[in-house]
Structure 1
Amino acid sequence: MASMVWTRYAAIGDSFTEGIGDLHPDGTPRGWADRAAEALSTRAEGFGYANLAVRGKLLDQILDVQLPAALALKPDLVSVSGGGNDLLRPGTDVDVLAARMDEGVARLRAAGADVVLFTGVDPAGSAVIRRTRGRVALFNELLRATAVRHGAHIVDQWSMDVLRDWRCWSIDRLHMSPEGHRRVALAMLESLGVQDAGDWREPELAPLPALSRGARLLFDARWARGYLAPWIGRRLRGRSSGDLVTAKRPGLSPVGK
């Protein structure tokens, strides 16, 4: 069965969708959304792609600002990923967060766009972020219900065991590496039924050598000092890494331009 063809793709979200951790040759963020758009563009004439995602944004900001801007572009495909920054905050009400996402997906589907959602990755291997595991798992289940309710596609990153491998992550452990972004792009294309795009499961990664307890503690300490502490500092000052950042592709344009 032939896969569908889309010609107007808009991506909204935070740093994950912006592509932090995966760069174009000119140093600008690439990421899974750019990679997926590149593949989709080879299957449709006149293909246009917009990426409205901005690092550090909370779900309310994504849905209140980026979603209306995406709808104005009259897309036939929209990817929505958000809530991760919210879930890092202990006081977040997961049910309220999921309800907001559900409302956003309903708006997009009512406008005639196909929608792709993303569950969170299982954070079991992270010394700090694994404390959010229960909240992430609950949010994922509510996202799956939203996908069924509105006929949206969903990329189940939680079940992608390869994403637990640190080679799929940047040194900051918060953003994916080029390898992680590559695999997520292929998983998105698979969720859309795009054929012959490649398999996110390949190549299989050989197991990493085990670190001693001392080496692991040193690794964690360096990470906390270099990346966790600055992140906490921004939160205490009420600042975000995306405060001075604008969308890299605010309008639909051909891939590569």
Structure 2
Amino acid sequence: MTYQRFVALGDSCTEGLDDLLPDGRYRGWADRVASVLDAPGFRYANLGVRGRRLDQMLVEQVPSAAALEPDLVVIFGGGNDVMSGASSAVIARRVDELVRAVTSFAPTVAVFTLSDISHRMPFGWRLRPRITALNDAVRLAASRYGAVLVDVADDECVHDSRYFGPDRLHLSSLGHRRLAGHLLSALEIPFDASWLTPLEGSAAPASVADHLRWLRDQVLPVAYSRSRNRLIGRQPGDGFRPKRPELAPLSLRPPVAG
């Protein structure tokens, strides 16, 4: 099937964090998918904003997406709901409301499950039940509302650190490429099969020094920032705008942020 009006919704993963281009822009799975779909008349918008939860996407991104009259909408989100401590019941409700809303106006909608990254996080065992609840809700909503399910929950590559960035949470360029491959496969659109070919060899095991640097450079600054923002009533993503708020040809790139 040919798509000409592609809109991506989501959080930092949709924005493309940790898939950095030489010119300072973020690429990410959505840009990579758009590059495969690109053809005369094709236009693409990316409404993803880092830090956004599913309920925020419903309020902030869905109305904008509906106004663009897309023929393909892809949703990637839920990680911030899991990290923020939302209950399993709240997460399930948010998933249902979001998928129901998007499928009401877009003829083709695709939704992702999340890989289990709990083993990468401090006290990650506390996240696992919420990740399971999120994935169960995504599968149910996809079935209920006729969305395309991109189920990456059991992708073994989640255990290969080369698919993740320095914080061990966001995807690296290789991870974004693999995610794009999973989506294109689910949509039955031809693409470079190497995107889904597992990397040769294995990642070098992290040393004690690596873990300490990760805690110092990645975990503690994020924990401090979240605590500070909570005190002043600021939420993750506040002040950031979508990198491609309007449908436009892929060749028309947004300016470098900052």
State the TM-score, normalized to the length of structure 2: 0.90
Q: How many angstroms apart in 1 are the aligned matches of 2:76 and 2:120?
A: 21
Tell me which of 214, 221, 246 is aligned to 1:251: 246
Q: How many angstroms apart in 1 are the aligned matches of 2:43 and 2:168?
A: 32
**Could you say which residue in structure 1 is the equivalent of 2:256?**
none
Given that 2:226 and 2:236 are in contact with CA atoms closer than 8 Å, whether structure 1 keeps it comes out as no
Tell me which of 210, 214, 225 is aligned to 1:219: 210
- Does the alignment pair 1:8 with 2:2? no
Write out aligned runs for 1:48-127 (5 A).
48-90=43-85, 92-127=86-121
1:77 maps to amino acid:
L
Alpha-carbon shift at residue 185 of structure 1 (Å) = 0.6
Q: Tell me, which stretches of 5 or more residues in structure 2 are unaligned?
A: 253-258
Alpha-carbon shift at residue 203 of structure 1 (Å) = 4.2
> Relative to 1, partners in 2 of residues 1:240 and 1:256: Cα closer, same or farther, differing over 3 Å?
farther
Aligned length: 247
Q: How many angstroms apart in 2 are the aligned matches of 1:219 and 1:14?
A: 27
Tell me which of 152, 161, 171 is aligned to 1:176: 171
Alpha-carbon shift at residue 37 of structure 1 (Å) = 0.7
Moved over 4 A (4+): none
Secondary structure at the counterpart of residue 45 of structure 2: strand
Alpha-carbon shift at residue 244 of structure 1 (Å) = 2.3
Q: How many angstroms apart in 1 are the aligned matches of 2:129 and 2:200?
A: 27
Tell me which of 128, 133, 137 is aligned to 2:122: 128
1:12 maps to amino acid:
L
Sequence identity percentage: 40
Tell me which of 4, 19, 40 is aligned to 2:16: 19
Indicate the RMSD between aligned Cα atoms, in angstroms: 1.7
**Could you say which residue in structure 2 is the equivalent of 1:205?**
200
Given that 1:122 and 1:164 are in contact with CA atoms closer than 8 Å, whether structure 2 keeps it comes out as no
Q: How many angstroms apart in 2 are the aligned matches of 1:250 and 1:112?
A: 17
**Could you say which residue in structure 2 is the equivalent of 1:40?**
37
Alpha-carbon shift at residue 189 of structure 1 (Å) = 0.4
Given that 1:187 and 1:199 are in contact with CA atoms closer than 8 Å, whether structure 2 keeps it comes out as no
State the TM-score, normalized to the length of structure 1: 0.90
Alpha-carbon shift at residue 240 of structure 1 (Å) = 4.4
